[in-house]
Amino acid sequence: MFAVTATQTDPDNPLAGLTLGEHPEPKTPDGWTTVTVKATALNHHDLWTLKGVGISQDRLPIVLGCDAAGLDEDGNEVIVHSVIGTGADETLDPKRSLLSEVYDGTFAERVAVPRRNLVPKPAALTFAEAACLPTAWLTAYRMLFDKSGLEPGSTVLVQGAGGGVATALIALGRAGGFRVWATSRSEEKRERALSLGADRVFETGARLPERVDAVMETVGQATWDHSLKSLRPGGRIVVSGATTGYAPPAELNRVFFLQLSISGSTMGTRDQLARLTIFMEQTGVRPVIDRTMPLTEARDGFEAMHRGELFGKVVFTV
């Protein structure tokens, strides 16, 4: 079958290890099944894998991709939950992994997954829309409606409008009744954030007219200082990523004096993914798709992400 794999890692030239071509059919252990992929979405996780983050050389080659929507063995339309783990909250399983870390991922004609990881796809969502949900949109859903501790009407600042999680946070926050503010270095991305539902937009690092109840942080080092300074006393940062660096100054004096909270958030549970699909169906919110292209042209999508050109998701069709 055709697949997109990582055959080597290089932090300076990640696309050097991106390989497109034939790959063996997936094997299905007991309790697993095969999904015929119709659409799959690109995430920064895929680019980080090519840089060597979170994966060792002995696991290569491995099929990339965390997200997929397609058909199960009985022809049912399904969405793949990409967290492989056990327990009531599989994201807390210390041995958990995502597809494409230990097991082959979704950038292929077929992918093997545990049967419990399949979620019915609502008819109202296209395969392309559904493929955007399992990583970026599920991460945003958990950040807003689980980890933030906020009620509708609260003010939320989204750092770095443009990425998959950030665009999901804006759209979901608006639909969930939050007042959503967003930042970006790009005037074009700020304008698009407004059209997506942000109430106000600001240049990265700009002084805000008032302090916010929570900050949704995926950027990391470049925006951390601004995130801390933007919070009201008792406010909270929910952090699910750090694309610009993992080690900003902690500013512990600000954290304890203003009694700020910092909450980590990783992906979401299978049940949360199921509720997210219902939320999308009920509200009419749909993922922001920057571009759709055949899986055979995956390199173009990776290059666009590597250059930071995207607003929303890249979807590959199979």
Q: In the chain, where are the structural domains located?
A: 2-132+287-317, 137-264
CATH T-level fold of 137-264:
Rossmann fold (3.40.50)
- Arithmetic mean of pLDDT, 232-237: 98
**Quick check: 308 pLDDT over 90?**
no
Per-residue pLDDT band at 212 (split at 50, 70, 90): very high
Residue 257: its pLDDT value, please? 97
- Arithmetic mean of pLDDT, 95-99: 96
Residue 162: its pLDDT value, please? 84
- Arithmetic mean of pLDDT, 161-172: 92
- Arithmetic mean of pLDDT, 218-224: 94
**Quick check: 240 pLDDT over 90?**
yes
Provide the CA 180 distance to its chain's centre, in angstroms: 19
**Quick check: 311 pLDDT over 90?**
no
Per-residue pLDDT band at 309 (split at 50, 70, 90): confident
Q: What does pLDDT average to over the chain?
A: 96
The second-level CATH assignment, the architecture, of 2-132+287-317 is Alpha-Beta Complex (3.90)
Per-residue pLDDT band at 292 (split at 50, 70, 90): very high
Same fold, 2-132+287-317 and 137-264: no
Taking only the tens place, the pLDDT of each residue in 195-205 is 999 999 999 99
Nearest alpha carbon to residue 300 among 21, 42, 40: 42
Per-residue pLDDT band at 310 (split at 50, 70, 90): confident
Residue 245: its pLDDT value, please? 87
Residue 164: its pLDDT value, please? 87
Taking only the tens place, the pLDDT of each residue in 46-74 is 999 999 998 988 999 999 999 999 999 99
